[in-house]
Amino acid sequence: MRILVIEDEKKIASFIKRGLTEQNYTVDVAGDGEDGLYLAEINPYDLIVLDIMLPGKDGFAVCQTLRRQNITTPILMLTARDDLRDKVFGLDSGADDYLTKPFAFAEFLARVRVLLRRHGGNKSTTLRVADLELDQLTHQVSRAGKSIDLTPTEYALLEYLMLNHGQVVTRTMLSEHVWNQDFDSFSNVINVYVNYVRKKVDADFDVKLIHSVRGAGYMLKE
């Protein structure tokens, strides 16, 4: 899952990015409204964490602009402005949720998970394909009851394949959702990591789940 954090306070942005990264999310950060709007327009994010008081263009304006452009990415407004009128205006501007600072990070993560599940149309935290299971809450992965240890990048890659099981996932799609904006899409890193995951998921089983689709990308299917 790829998340955009639009926050001008560097310490808060760094704190949020570190916490989300530790939960295996891929995170981009923008320090003002204009840059945040630009990134949200050109990249397919799964969630946007949006501060209100931003230089250049405030969070309300960013949210309204995205919704006018029919960009439906879930938006979690995160701000020190706790006035009820601000909350109502934020939600009316198109935000999906509103959390005031200071906040407990556990609650923040819970709200992130709810928005991602709601947007994906999935109320369960467990993804299943054949005998492969991935718990998005605990990040535990197993196949036929056997635990599989994955690095954060391997986990993010497998999660995206499972979310799109039965469909071809291109290298571009993987680069956009598993790696951040600094990723070099012309490198062979994607092939390397797919092979890492394939060995851990398929090596000990007769039935292979991760398949290469010649000239297109990869597919996870039964």
CATH number for the 2-120 domain, one of 3.55.40.20, 3.10.440.10, 3.40.50.2000, 3.40.50.2300? 3.40.50.2300
Q: How far apart are CA 47 and CA 42, in angstroms?
A: 14
What is the pTM assigned to this prediction? 0.67
CB count within 10 Å of CB 122 equals 13
Q: How far apart are CA 89 and CA 159, in angstroms?
A: 35
pLDDT number for residue 32: 94
Q: How far apart are CA 94 and CA 74, in angstroms?
A: 9
Domain borders along the chain are: 2-120, 126-220
Q: Decide whether 2-120 matches 126-220 in CATH topology.
A: no
pLDDT number for residue 114: 86
Question: Is residue 2 packed enough to be buried (19+ CB in 10 Å), middle (13-18) or exposed (0-12)?
Answer: buried
CATH architecture observed for domain 126-220: Orthogonal Bundle (1.10)
> Which residues of the chain are modeled with pLDDT < 50?
none
